[in-house]
Every structure is written in structure tokens, then in C-alpha cells.
Structure 1
């Protein structure tokens, strides 16, 4: 590296389209920035930011809150605790409930609602998304999203992995878990209970006939679990078929 630095570099000149990115000097301990010009593929070193360099590394844990520049993970003890009865209820919400009634129910649990009509699942039926936020930590990403179809009511409930309520199924916590650890627990739990399990389309272990799907979203250098719960009824073959595309892709956009 010293030899490369000793080679004279021609002047960069005017930079019209600057690019900035972070890279690890030592993962979890020290980071630096790289500034480049995409048009000339020239790079410039920038000193390590002190607040990142000096930040101690901590592994994301199921039971503690973790804060970084981009992610805030709600401690499990601070999450509202919800139960789940397949195809019937998620927390305080019953499948089939009208969206206005759902807003009233969630308000009783401290959630503020924001609703909008979305692309129709069926051309003949309007569909709505209602986002529920509970606190300032939910400013950028709602804790819960509910989806309603005209004449059917609530069909899908999505719970965010970073700060959504904790949903427990058969004694197993599904939200905000390290993804591969939850995989192992669900697989072992299925064997213990004599249940069928499978890999859902996102690639994570789920229990057959329980009508929930799992995914993972970025939290620092860890993937934490989210889940969607559905009641396909007579409209679809599975809860995955009922989930809007935005649910399936949750957590993979930049910075989420």
C-alpha cells in the first residue's frame, strides 16, 4: 500500500458526480470512508470518523436494544407481546375485521394509524394498507402493516423485525430474532410437536398449515426476522399468495 501511495498521481480536476462509501478497516471496530469520481474511477482517502472508530462492537441480541446510525432495534422486553392463532387472530386483531374497527382497536394499544389505498389485488375489489406506529422509533418504518380487501376485511398482518410487537406461536418468539437461530428453533419445534415444516419462498423455515411467512431484514451486520400472518380464506391458496409484493420484499431496499 505504501508503494502504491508513493506513485505520483495526476490531478483529479473537477468532479461532477462524487461518490461516497464506507468500508471496514476492522469489521465491527473501525471504519473509513472512500470518496470516488465514477467518471474517472479515482479515489481519495478520508480519515476514519471518530464516532464510528471508537464505537464498541456489540452483537445484536434477542433481548437487548441496539442502536446504530441507521437501525434501532427495540429490546424484546419493550415490545408489546402478541399471541397468534392461525387464520383467526394476531394480537388484538381478528382476521376479517373492518379497517376502521382495526384502527380503533390499535389506538387502544397506543398505535397511530395512517391508511392509503394500494394497487388492487383483484380488479373488482379495492385494497388498503394501514400502517401503525407507536413511538418516535417507528418514524421511518411502521411497527405493523395491515392489509384489507373490500368486502373481506383484514387479510394480512405484517410485523416489522426491528420494532414490531413480539408475536409468539406455540411458545416460540417469531419477531426480531437472529434469522438462522430462529430457523433452528422452528425446525426442532416442528420435530418435537410432530408438525410439518418447509422453507417458505423467502428461504426461511416455516410451519406448514400455520399461515405465517418469514423473512429477514438488515440490522447492522445481522439479519433479524420479520413475519407476515394471513388468512387466505377462499381467495387464495396460501398466506403467501395473499401477501402484497411490498411485504415479500421487505427489508432488502437500501437502508430499509
Structure 2
């Protein structure tokens, strides 16, 4: 099951976020501007905005908004990292495996799961409910929803789930193609 490593994990606004395909996650809505993301995020914690490296000229300039949970001692990874494109607005929301909110897809918890347990649960759920599941090109299992891209995040000796909730951005055909380069590093999250 999903891990809850911090005592304050259930703090207001952080415990569980809902996901709506093509709409958003928790208080973050796809298409928001950087200012709108910061405003929504500051209700929950500290927001820090930085430029993303522009590795592909087909994409418009992109910003990364790191949201750190209020009351968590620094240095601490961001609980949520949001990526905002100049052309399409907010297009990617990454939930940290340890500090992020819990998000489920049709009852399947996605954040902070041991990747092998998530795979077993996804297959079992798919068989029981006669619904599909999918694998990423890297071999991570997740729901059969193009707006959810599962990533692995090392947490101590374990590999935990770090889902990316996405819509396509300018110049991309799929969410996988839209993935920010900061989220691609030898198959591991770097945020």
C-alpha cells in the first residue's frame, strides 16, 4: 500500500487529491498560468518557480513550480512539481513518492507505492474488473489512461511510484513525448 512517511501527512489539503483526466489534480488545473499555479500552490505550501532547460526547440519556454509542504524542515524535496509551458499552460503535475499527496485512479492508489506491488495490484484489479492497464516504455505499470505516466523514484533501497499527471504540450503527440526532460534521467525522477 502507499507509504505515509511523515507524521503530518494528513495535514489539511495534502492527504488526498482527486484526479480528473484532462482537467487536473487536486487544486491544480491543466492550462493554468505560472501565476495561477503559484497562487493555488501557496495555499498548500511554499512555491518556487524556475526555468526548465530547453532541450527541444519544438517546445515553448517552460517553467517548473516546486511546491514544498508547509511545516516540513528544509532541505526537503518538493511534494509536487508542476510544469507550465508558455504555449499551453500547466501540462504536467508530478507527485513525490514520499512527500506528495495521495492520488488514486479508479480506486488504485498511485503515489509512493512499491513498484512491484503496484504492478501486482494493477494486474489483479484489471482482471477482476475486466479493464485494461498499460506499461510505460520503461516498463512501469499504471492505469490505461494516457494522462497518467508512471515513473520510478528511488526511496532508500526501494523504487517507489511517482506518477505524472499530464496533457500533451505544444509540438507533442502524446503525454510520453510531452514529459519534461527534468523527469527523464536514466528512468529515475530528478525533481
Q: Which TM-score band (shorter chain)?
A: 0.7 to 0.9
The alpha-carbon deviation at position 210 of structure 1 amounts to 3.9
Matched residues, number: 186
Gaps of 5+ in 1: 1-60, 66-72
Higher relative contact order structure (alpha carbons within 8 Å, sequence separation ≥ 6): 2
Between stretches 204-213 and 147-156, larger displacement belongs to 204-213
Q: Is there any run of 5+ residues in structure 2 with no aligned partner, and where?
A: none
Q: In 2 relative to 1, CA 173–124 (structure 1 residues): closer, same or farther, beyond 3 Å? A: closer
Distance in 2 between residues matched to 1:140 and 1:213, nearest whole Å: 24
1:167 pairs with 92, 103, 106, which one? 103
Cα RMSD between the aligned structures? 2.5
Among residues 156, 168, 176, which one is paired with 1:232 in the alignment? 168
- Residue 204 of structure 1: how far off its partner (Å): 1.1
Deviations 1:134-168 (A, max 9, x none): 14256231111111111310011111101111111
Residues 177-211 of structure 1: per-residue CA shift (max 9 Å, x gap): 11111111112222333332222023111223341
How far does residue 80 in structure 1 lie from its aligned partner after superposition?
A: 2.3
Return the alpha-carbon distance in structure 2 between the equivalents of residues 128 and 165 of structure 1.
21
Task: Return the index of the structure with the highest Cα Rg.
Answer: 1
TM-score in terms of structure 1 length: 0.64
What CA deviation, in whole Å up to 9, does each residue of 1:25-56 have, x standing for no partner? xxxxxxxxxxxxxxxxxxxxxxxxxxxxxxxx
- TM-score, length-scaled by structure 2: 0.84
Say which SS state the counterpart of residue 161 (structure 2) adopts.
strand
